[in-house]
Amino acid sequence: MTETPDTSWRAVTDLAGKSVVITGCASGIGRAAALQFASAGATVYAGDRNVADGEATIAQIRAGGGRGEFIELDLGDGATIDAFVDAAVAQIGGAPDIIANVAGLDRVMPFLENTPEVWDLLAQVNYIGPVRMIHRFLPDMIERRKGKIVMVASDAGRVGSMGETFYAGTKGAVIAFTKSLARETARSGITCNCVAPGPTDTPLFNGTIPEGKLRDALIKAIPLKRLAQPIEIAHTIVYLSTPATDFMTGQVVSVSGGLTMHG
């Protein structure tokens, strides 16, 4: 007699025994997501270029009884991406069950004030670096015929954003990449989904849009009249990594307080 699988909410959101590679773990959404993955039972392999704060995230995970390892990662440097992948594969024994790419970089300025150096940096950190990392992990995931990939983009990549023209372009590229990869990997049992945050109370946002009229106007435009907290984005990232979303792929989920509403 075939045993009936446990489809309770607790069971389908349990990540015990799973491994997750996450980028951007030192602060903001990445840190919140790393902590939530650990609380769901996953072993976290976390990367960031900020070594001290990245290690502090892992220390917090361990202090709470979770399991995690920090591996230095700079998505702007191809050599360190390769070293990160090699180290993660060695520690996990293969590709992870889950990849959560959260790291990102922004520069707020009029488009005509952009320089090629700004374009190169944003393209590398927000798009090319994550693509390179996934390209390295993916063959083993396909061979195992399972895995979940969650990319963090931005609603700027869906609707555009004044002063963030090139940043929005890189995030639009992340969205298109996620959808295309979802089509390519679906037959291998891999799901690929994207989270598109709106304005969120993170060091990145606070560093690019400080207190002032622009910030006040932005918050006023949000139907829920506040910024998101990192944990609110993290919950969606982790949810898309659980068995609860096994039949969901190629989707973009906006978490923006209603600032953008897509049909």
Whether the CB-CB separation of 127 and 169 falls below 8 Å is answered with no
43 by DSSP, 3-state: which? strand
Give the closest residue to 55 by CA, choosing from 39, 76, 34.
Answer: 34
Tokens of 172: 């639009």
Please identify which residue in the block is written with the tokens 């039949």: 247
Closest of 48, 10, 45 to residue 29, by C-alpha:
48
Q: For residue 167, indicate whether it is catalytic.
A: yes
Q: Provide the strand spans (E) within the chain.
A: 19-23, 43-48, 67-72, 98-101, 147-152, 190-197, 252-255
Please name the residues in contact with 213: beta carbons below 8 A apart, sequence gap of 6 or more. none
As a whole number of angstroms, the distance between CA 190 and CA 134 comes to 12
Q: Which residues pair with 148 in a beta bridge?
A: 98, 191
- The catalytic position among 45, 127, 167, 239 is 167
For the annotated catalytic residues, the residue numbers are 167
